[in-house]
C-alpha cells in the first residue's frame, strides 16, 4: 500500500495514513484502493485485534478529497463517482462496526474529507493547540460533506446544532471540538496521543457509535419534532434568499440533512452520496474548487512575489490622510501589530481618523471579540499627528489623499525624504497610473501602488501595482506588507484603472447604459442581484460616488488631451455625467444619486422617481437573461483584455481579484473561470451576439481570443 501503513502488534491494529510524495494525506484514487485493502486486512485479523488506532505520519492528520481529480470529472462520471463514495463508506462502516474500539489520533488539522475520516473513531483524541483546525469547509468549494460528514454531524449535534458546521462551513479548534463533544480527550502533544488511545481501548473493549444503538435519538428531535418542523418550514426560503439559487451545494446539504434524519443510518449515507456525486461533476463545484482552493493557494504561496527578495516585516508605517481610507488602513495595520503614524493637515483630522479605530474596537469589545486590554494596545499603535517630522524613520509611507495628481505629487515630495534607509513609498490610488504619479518621487524604483478597497477593515483584497520603474524588491516588500496585515495581495502592471477599477467600471457603466436605453432602474438592479453580484450596479455607483466617476472621466480626458489623444466616453459614462452635471445627483454622500436617501429614522433608500421620467421608454421590452449576461460578460471580456495587455499576468490573480475586489459572483469562480466554466467556444459565441446587439464593449479581438486559449488551465 502506497498511502496507508498497517501494523498489528499486541492486539493493536495501527492504520497510519502516509501518502507517498505528498505533504498531506488525501482521498486520492490510490488511497481509496489502499483503504479497501487495509479494511480487508483488519477483517482478516479481527480475532486477534483488541483495538484500532487511526494515525497520520504527516504534520496534519488528513487534508481531504483529491481536488485535482475532481477537476477532471465530467457529468458522465457521476455513476462511477457514486460507486467510489459508497465503497469508501463501506470501508468506514466495516471498521466502525467490527465490534472493536476505534480511536482517531488527531495530531494536526482534519478538514473536509479528513474530518470525515476522523469521525470513524469511536473516540477522538486531539493535540490541544489553537492552530489546529477541524471541520467541513466543502460548501465553500461548491461541494457537500458526502463521505459521511452530513449524516454523522447531524446525528452528533442535531439538525439545528449541525447547521453552522455544515451549511456555514464553520471551523473549530480542538478545545471547541471538546466542548461540542466531537473530541473526547485533549493531550498536550503528539507523543501523548497513542498512550491515550491505548488507555481508551483498554477501558472500552467493545465500542460502537451512538447511532448504532437501538435507543438512539437525534439531539433536539428529528424533522417531525414540532420545533424542528417549524424551522424547516422556512429554512429553504431563507437559504434560497442567501444563495439566490446560484449555489446548489447548501440546498443539497440541507436536503441531505433532513432526508437523512428521516431514515436509518445506512440509507442516510446513500442519500448523501447521491447528492455529492451530482454536485461534484457540475460546473459550479469545479469553478469554486479551481478558484477558492487552487487559485487562492497560488496567491498565499506567493507565486506572484519575486522569489529572490528577502522577507520583509513592516515595523513603522506612515499613512498620509486620515479620511475613510487612511483611517481604515491605520486600523488594519494596528490590529496586526504594526506601529502606525496617521498624518493629516490638522491634529483634529488626525484624531478623527484614530477615532475610527476606537469605534471599531469598541464594537468588538462589546461583542466579546476583543478584550479591553487588547483594545488599548491596538489604539496605542496609532499615533495621530499634523507634524510631517513624525513620519521620520518609517520603512513605508502610504499616501491616501484625494484622487488628484497634483495633491498626490506634493505629499509625495514632502514625505518621501523622511523614509528610513531602504524604505519605500506607496500610493493608495484607485485609478491614476502609478508610473505618472512616480514622477514626483526621487526614487521611482521604490514607488509602488497599494490599492485598498473600502471599507478597508472588511474588504480582503489589496491590489499591488507595478509602475514601469518599480523594482522587484519593492514589489516583494509590498506583497509581504499586505500579507502581514492579513489581506490578499494580487500584483498587476500599471495602466489606467489598473485591473479592478477598470473592470468594476464596466459593470457599473453597463448598468447605467441600460438605464439610458430606457430599461427601468429596478430591473437593472435586479439583473445584477440575480446574476450574483453583491448589489446592483446603480447602488454601487451611488456608494462610490457618481461625482468620483465624473472626476475620473474628466481626468482621463485631460490626460489623453495632454498627449494628443481623445477619449470617447461610453453611453454609461455619459449618462452618469448628466446625472452629476445636469441634475446634481452626486451619490449617497450627497443623499442624491440613482437613489434618494430619506433621513427619517428607519426609512430605506428608494430609486429616484425622476429616472423613469428622464430616461424611461414606455412599452420597452427586455430579456432578463440578456441583462444578466451583459453585466457578467462585460466584466469577463474586460478581464480577458487586461490579461491580453499584460496588465494581468496570471489567471489566478484575475479570478481572486475579481471576486474579492469587485464582487464578481463566487459561483463563477471569477471572471476568467467564468469563461472557462462556460466553455471557451460557447463564451465567444455569446460575446459575439452581445457585441452585435449592445456594442463594442463585448468585442473580443483575435489577440484576446488567443490569450484566453493560451491561459486555459489544464487538469
Q: How many C-beta neighbours within 10 Å does residue 360 have?
A: 20
Helix, strand or coil, per DSSP, at residue 70: helix
Q: How far apart are CA 391 and CA 371, in angstroms?
A: 30
Q: How many C-beta neighbours within 10 Å does residue 596 have?
A: 15
* Residues carrying an active site annotation: 116, 138
CA trace torsion 515, 240, 676, 79 (10° rounding): -150
Helix, strand or coil, per DSSP, at residue 243: helix
Contact 463, 490 (CB under 8 A): yes
Burial of 390 from C-beta contacts in 10 A (0-12 / 13-18 / 19+): middle
Q: Helix 624-644 and helix 680-694: axis angle, to 10°?
A: 110
Q: How far apart are CA 312 and CA 396, in angstroms?
A: 11
Contact 15, 55 (CB under 8 A): yes
Contacts of 578 (CB under 8 A, 6+ apart): none
Contacts of 648 (CB under 8 A, 6+ apart): 492, 493, 499, 639, 642, 654, 657
Contact 513, 572 (CB under 8 A): yes
Task: Give the closest residue to 379 by CA, choosing from 365, 393, 390, 368.
Answer: 365
Q: How far apart are CA 357 and CA 365, in angstroms?
A: 12
CB-facing half-sphere around the CA of 110: CA atoms within 13 A? 27
Q: Which three cell numbers stand for residue 502?
A: 477598470
Helix, strand or coil, per DSSP, at residue 182: coil
Q: How many C-beta neighbours within 10 Å does residue 372 have?
A: 10
Contact 315, 178 (CB under 8 A): no
> String of b and e for 643-660 (b: at least 16 CB within 10 Å)?
bbeebbbbbbbbbbbbbb
Q: How far apart are CA 417 and CA 252, in angstroms?
A: 59
CA distances from 305 to 246, 312, 486 (A): 34, 12, 16
Amino acid at each position: 500500500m502506497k498511502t496507508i501503513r498497517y501494523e498489528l502488534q499486541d492486539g493493536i491494529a495501527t492504520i497510519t495514513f502516509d501518502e507517498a510524495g505528498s505533504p498531506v494525506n488525501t482521498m486520492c484514487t490510490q488511497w481509496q484502493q489502499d483503504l479497501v485493502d487495509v479494511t480487508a486486512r483488519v477483517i482478516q485479523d479481527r480475532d486477534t485485534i483488541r483495538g484500532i488506532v487511526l494515525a497520520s505520519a504527516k504534520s496534519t492528520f488528513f487534508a481531504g478529497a483529491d481536488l485535482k481529480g475532481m477537476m477532471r470529472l465530467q457529468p458522465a462520471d457521476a455513476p462511477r463517482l457514486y460507486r467510489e463514495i459508497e465503497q469508501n463508506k463501506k470501508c468506514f462502516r466495516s471498521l466502525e462496526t467490527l465490534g472493536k474500539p476505534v480511536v482517531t489520533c488527531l495530531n494536526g488539522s482534519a478538514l473536509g474529507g479528513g474530518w470525515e475520516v476522523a469521525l470513524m473513531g469511536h473516540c477522538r483524541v486531539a493535540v490541544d493547540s489553537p492552530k489546529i483546525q477541524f471541520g467541513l469547509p466543502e460548501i465553500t468549494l461548491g461541494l457537500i460533506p458526502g463521505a459521511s460528514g452530513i449524516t454523522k454531524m447531524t446525528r452528533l449535534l442535531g439538525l439545528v446544532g449541525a447547521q453552522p458546521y455544515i451549511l456555514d462551513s464553520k471551523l473549530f479548534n480542538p478545545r471547541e471540538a471538546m466542548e461540542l463533544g466531537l473530541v473526547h480527550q485533549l493531550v498536550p502533544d503528539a507523543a501523548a496521543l497513542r498512550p491515550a488511545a491505548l488507555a481508551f481501548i483498554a477501558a472500552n473493549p467493545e465500542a460502537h457509535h451512538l447511532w448504532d444503538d437501538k435507543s438512539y435519538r437525534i439531539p433536539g428531535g428529528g424533522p417531525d419534532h414540532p420545533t424542528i418542523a417549524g424551522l424547516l418550514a422556512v429554512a429553504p426560503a431563507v437559504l434560497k434568499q442567501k444563495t439566490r439559487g446560484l449555489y446548489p451545494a447548501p440546498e443539497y446539504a440541507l436536503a441531505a440533512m433532513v432526508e437523512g434524519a428521516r431514515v436509518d443510518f445506512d440509507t442516510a449515507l446513500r442519500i448523501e452520496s447521491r447528492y455529492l456525486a451530482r454536485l461534484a461533476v457540475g460546473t459550479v463545484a469545479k469553478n469554486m474548487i479551481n478558484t477558492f482552493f487552487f487559485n487562492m493557494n497560488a496567491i498565499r504561496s506567493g507565486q506572484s512575489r519575486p522569489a529572490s527578495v528577502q522577507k520583509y516585516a513592516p515595523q513603522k508605517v506612515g499613512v498620509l490622510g486620515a479620511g475613510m481610507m487612511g483611517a481604515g488602513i491605520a486600523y488594519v495595520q494596528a490590529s496586526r501589530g504594526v506601529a502606525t503614524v496617521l498624518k493629516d493637515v490638522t491634529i483634529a483630522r488626525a484624531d478623527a481618523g484614530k477615532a475610527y479605530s476606537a469605534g471599531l474596537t469598541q464594537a468588538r469589545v462589546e461583542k466579546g471579540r476583543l478584550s479591553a486590554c487588547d483594545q488599548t494596545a491596538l489604539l496605542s499603535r496609532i499615533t495621530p499627528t499634523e507634524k510631517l517630522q513624525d513620519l521620520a524613520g518609517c520603512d513605508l509611507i502610504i499616501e491616501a489623499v484625494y484622487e488628484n495628481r497634483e495633491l498626490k505629487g506634493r505629499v509625495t515630495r514632502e514625505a518621501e525624504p523622511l523614509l528610513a534607509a531602504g524604505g519605500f513609498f506607496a500610493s493608495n490610488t484607485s485609478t491614476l497610473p502609478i508610473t505618472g504619479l512616480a514622477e514626483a518621487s526621487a526614487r521611482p524604483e521604490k514607488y509602488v501602488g497599494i490599492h485598498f478597497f473600502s471599507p478597508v477593515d472588511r474588504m480582503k483584497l489589496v491590489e499591488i501595482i507595478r509602475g514601469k520603474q518599480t523594482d522587484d524588491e519593492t514589489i516583494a516588500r509590498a506583497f509581504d506588507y499586505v500579507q502581514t496585515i492579513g489581506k490578499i495581495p494580487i500584483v498587476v502592471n500599471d495602466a489606467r484603472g489598473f485591473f479592478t477599477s477598470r473592470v468594476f467600471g464596466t459593470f457599473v457603466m453597463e448598468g447605467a447604459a441600460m438605464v439610458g436605453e430606457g430599461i427601468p432602474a429596478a430591473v437593472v438592479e435586479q439583473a445584477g442581484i440575480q446574476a450574483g453580484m453583491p448589489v446592483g450596479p446603480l447602488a454601487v455607483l451611488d456608494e462610490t460616488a457618481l461625482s468620483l466617476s465624473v472626476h475620473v472621466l474628466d481626468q482621463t480626458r485631460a490626460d489623453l488631451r495632454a498627449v494628443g489623444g481623445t477619449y470617447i466616453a461610453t453611453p454609461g459614462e455619459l449618462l452618469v455625467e448628466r446625472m452629476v452635471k445636469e441634475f446634481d445627483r452626486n451619490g449617497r454622500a450627497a443623499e442624491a444619486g440613482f437613489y434618494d436617501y430619506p433621513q427619517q429614522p428607519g426609512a430605506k433608500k428608494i430609486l429616484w422617481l425622476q429616472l423613469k421620467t428622464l430616461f424611461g421608454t414606455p412599452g420597452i421590452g427586455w430579456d432578463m437573461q440578456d441583462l444578466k449576461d451583459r453585466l457578467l460578460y462585460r466584466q469577463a471580456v474586460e478581464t480577458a483584455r487586461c490579461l491580453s495587455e499584460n496588465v494581468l499576468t496570471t489567471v489566478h490573480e484575475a479570478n481572486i481579484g475579481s471576486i474579492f475586489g469587485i464582487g464578481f459572483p463566487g459561483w463563477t469562480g471569477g471572471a476568467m473561470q467564468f469563461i472557462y466554466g462556460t466553455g471557451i467556444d460557447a463564451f465567444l459565441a455569446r460575446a459575439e451576439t452581445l457585441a452585435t446587439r449592445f456594442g463594442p464593449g463585448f468585442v473580443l479581438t483575435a489577440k484576446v481570443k488567443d490569450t484566453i486559449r493560451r491561459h486555459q488551465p489544464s487538469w
